[in-house]
Amino acid sequence: MSFLFVFFIKMSIILSGGFMADYLDLTKGYQKEELKDAALTIKQGGLVLFPTETVYGIGADGLNEEAVKKIFIAKGRASDNPLILHVSDMKMIERIVAEVTPLERKLVEKFFPGPLTIVFKRKGNVPNVVTANLDTVGVRMPENKIAHDLIELANTPIAAPSANISGRPSGTNVQDIFNELNDKVNYILDGGETKIGLESTVIRVIDNKINILRPGKITYDDLKEFGEVVVSPHVLKEASSDEVVLSPGMKYKHYAPKTKCVLIYSDDKKKMLDKMKELETNNTLVITNEDNVKYFNNVISYGKSLEDISHNLFKILRSIDKENKELVIIEGVKAEGLGLAIMNRLIRACSHNYIEL
């Protein structure tokens, strides 16, 4: 982030009379001790916006009930939507988890640190506000160095949902989320663009089977070498309002622009493109694969590969409303591998307005 950008946004806050969070630019490297003030903010019950390898998070001391409540207020998040606790090492896991089964331990050894969250049986020191009154808690160990160092310096598990107002697309860089969150947190750590761009895969081991509750970078194929893998029916379908959910992202409207969006997918490329062309008008925006940009007028490419789409998706979803269109037509992808995670986010971004041909 440039000096001019930082100066501009800070002056804008001052002139508007709004709260100004402390800001630290770490995009050009840093020393661990530079994070001490942010870690102290966590210890003192404040909120810190920080990067992980997946998306940015809004963090608070996960064992401080009053601090965690501030997250729900800042995001406008429903209280029955559980949070994930971010840890820095195995000792921290043991502080909050009642038991780690042999299969869970194998998964920890393979995928921690990384973009995987495991839902464990929790200990009593984890506040109910974190778990939505469940007896389980999602735990993740980020591989992002800033996140890891912050947790280590704070010496406490950090509860951190994605950095966004609930229902909006998650933040993958500070510029996209600054205006909606700067007056709701105490400290902002700018680590530049996140690497992956989608939230972590969330799993729970039940009867020695690995249940995928929310898909992400760690895929079905990555997990199946450890045993039978079951994909939750809520991955591509919405949970009802009265269902109890074990993972964030299963129940409520997520990732959604204000502009109406429709998602279209078919294994038959011609059929899919024909349907997209049929819906296209002068007042629509098309989001599509780089190879298909040539077929449309008002169009944004989300890249070629699934990795491109994963990295670019939330940034593009956040840009949609600036186009002032009546409808956004989004090309879907095959729902396998990383494509399952992408479709999970897109279906929710389109409020389940999905056409499969």
User: Mean per-residue pLDDT for 134-154?
Assistant: 98
Q: How far is CA 248 from CA 117, 134, 203, 346, in A?
A: 11, 13, 11, 16
Domain boundaries, the chain: 3-190, 261-356
**Mean pLDDT, the chain, as a whole number?**
91
- The CATH class, in words, for 3-190 is alpha beta
The whole-angstrom separation of Cα 14 and Cα 28 is 26
Amino acid (one-letter) located at 282: N
Q: How confident is the model at residue 168 (pLDDT cuts 50, 70, 90)?
A: confident
Alpha-carbon 70 to chain mean position: 18
Looking at residue 8, its pLDDT comes to: 43
The reply to whether domains 3-190 and 261-356 share a CATH topology is: no
The pLDDT score that the predictor gives to residue 255 is: 72
How far apart are alpha carbons 245 and 146 in whole angstroms?
A: 30
Copy the structure tokens of residue 162.
Answer: 């994605």
Mean pLDDT, residues 62-80:
94
Rounded (to 5) percent helix, strand, coil in the chain: 35, 20, 40
Whether the predicted pLDDT of 159 surpasses 90: yes
> Domain 261-356's class?
alpha beta
Residue 250's pLDDT is what? 56
Minimum mean pLDDT among 140-149, 153-162, 255-264: which range? Answer: 255-264
Say if strands 354-356 and 284-288 run parallel, antiparallel, or are unpaired: unpaired
Burial 118-143 (b: 16+ CB within 10 A, else e): bbbebeeebbebbbbebebbbbbbbb
pLDDT at 297 over 50: yes
Lowest mean pLDDT among 3-17, 101-115, 116-130, 304-318: 3-17
Q: What is the mean pLDDT of residues 139-152?
A: 98
Could you give the percent of the chain with pLDDT greater than 90?
A: 83
User: From the CB of residue 13, how many other CB atoms can be counted at a distance below 10 Å?
Assistant: 17
> In this predicted model, what pLDDT tens digit does every residue of 313-334 receive, in sequence order?
999 999 998 999 999 999 999 9
**What pLDDT, on the 0 to 100 scale, is given for residue 136?**
97
Say how far apart CA 309 and CA 299 lie, in whole Å.
15
Euclidean distance between CA atoms 64 and 273, whole angstroms: 51
Q: What is the pLDDT of residue 12?
A: 42
Tokens of 346: 């897109």
For residue 18, is pLDDT > 80?
no
- Of 63 and 13, more confident: 63
User: What are the tens digits of pLDDT across the range 5-14?
Assistant: 444 444 444 3
